Amino acid sequence: MFYCIVNPSARSGHGKNIYNLFEEKCKAMGKPYKVVFTKGPGHAMNVVKRLTEKKVGSSSDDAPINIVVMGGDGTLNEVISGIQDFDRVRLGVVPLGSGNDFVRDLNFPKKTEELITQILKEEIVRKLDIGNVHYDHMTRTLSRLHDERIAQDRRFDVSSGIGFDAAVCEEALSSNTKNFLNKIGLGKLTYGSIAVRQILHADQPSCDIETDDGQTLHIDHLIFAAAMIHHYEGGGFNFAPDADLQDGYFDLIVGGDIGTFQIFKVLPLAFFGKHYGQKGVDHIRAKEIKIKTAIPMWVHTDGEVLLKSDAITLSCLKQKLNLLS
């Protein structure tokens, strides 16, 4: 059985069209399937929770569960956060977002039809790391598009960041500009315009970082800190060019203690993965990372923003995700 989670508004409303192709393939290959079209924030996560939770006395507790996600990085994040039993779940991803950072370094088939055929073979292609962010302190400052109930832990598959990158995501999530640009196929431009505004006006508090292996870092004026699993975030910025998706380590990229001019110099370099060694950029590899900031800042998980926090713990879970694609 394949359970398909579809964001119908993805790719300017073409999510349903891609699902129709999936349905045709399932019928042609004799694969049973069910579909859920998401209705808003938190829906995909709740559906997957119910689907993957263990039922007392059930004889099907050991049977694999095939889930196919059709949407952007946000929909995928909800699915990852909803999974209750990773050993049983096998995940297929058909990227339909404006950023699609999860798939940029996975060498997926370029043709959607080929990708769907590969997923329906039910073969685990690879096992990937995922991350968990624990909000050591949860403030009452919530995102404009937060879930109804916010747990103290949230998973992520691409990256989690605090500060500048999260503030850009929070503004973009409820931006009318983004909705308009998505409709004309230019959604990525949203982040550029918002990023410039955030650089010029965002707070830059002091920050202390500590890792599980004893590394420490103090920043007087933090711009952002991003724990990366994949290479890219923010719609194509190659923040972690050396990241290994299966080694159980984060590549933590920290920016701070630099002037506005230097920020505008480093950001374009980061797009091409050439920012290591630049003034104001630190790179740390670790399995667990604690970050404390002088004031609460926005925190994102795969571009999804729920609240502000001034203390978080990030943990990397090695090869937790069974991927069909």
Out of 123, 145, 164, a domain closes at: 123
Which CATH number belongs to the domain containing residue 299 in this structure? 2.60.200.40
DSSP-assigned letters across all residues of 193-234: HHHHHHHHH-----EEEEETTS-EEEESSEEEEEEESSS-BT
Residues 104 and 149 in one domain: no
Q: What is the pLDDT of residues 128-186, one digit of tens each?
A: 999 999 999 999 999 987 777 899 999 999 999 999 999 988 888 766 555 555 554 55
Which CATH number belongs to the domain containing residue 20 in this structure? 3.40.50.10330
Domain of residue 154: give its range. 131-320
Q: How far apart are CA 205 and CA 175, in angstroms?
A: 26
Bridge partners (DSSP) of residue 21 are none
Per-residue model confidence (pLDDT) at position 60: 61
- Domain count along the chain: 2
Bridge partners (DSSP) of residue 321 are 128
In a domain, 325, yes or no: no
Per-residue model confidence (pLDDT) at position 290: 98
Residues 219 and 270 in one domain: yes
Q: How far apart are CA 318 and CA 75, in angstroms?
A: 22
Residues 136 and 88 in one domain: no
Beta strands in the chain (DSSP E): 2-6, 33-37, 65-71, 89-95, 126-135, 153-156, 159-163, 207-211, 216-219, 222-228, 250-256, 281-286, 288-301, 304-323
**pTM for this entry:** 0.91
Low-confidence ranges of the chain (pLDDT < 50): 184
Q: How far apart are CA 11 and CA 83, in angstroms?
A: 25
Per-residue model confidence (pLDDT) at position 216: 98
**The two three-digit tokens of residue 174, written as one number:** 């409820």
Per-residue model confidence (pLDDT) at position 58: 61
Per-residue model confidence (pLDDT) at position 188: 57
Per-residue model confidence (pLDDT) at position 180: 52
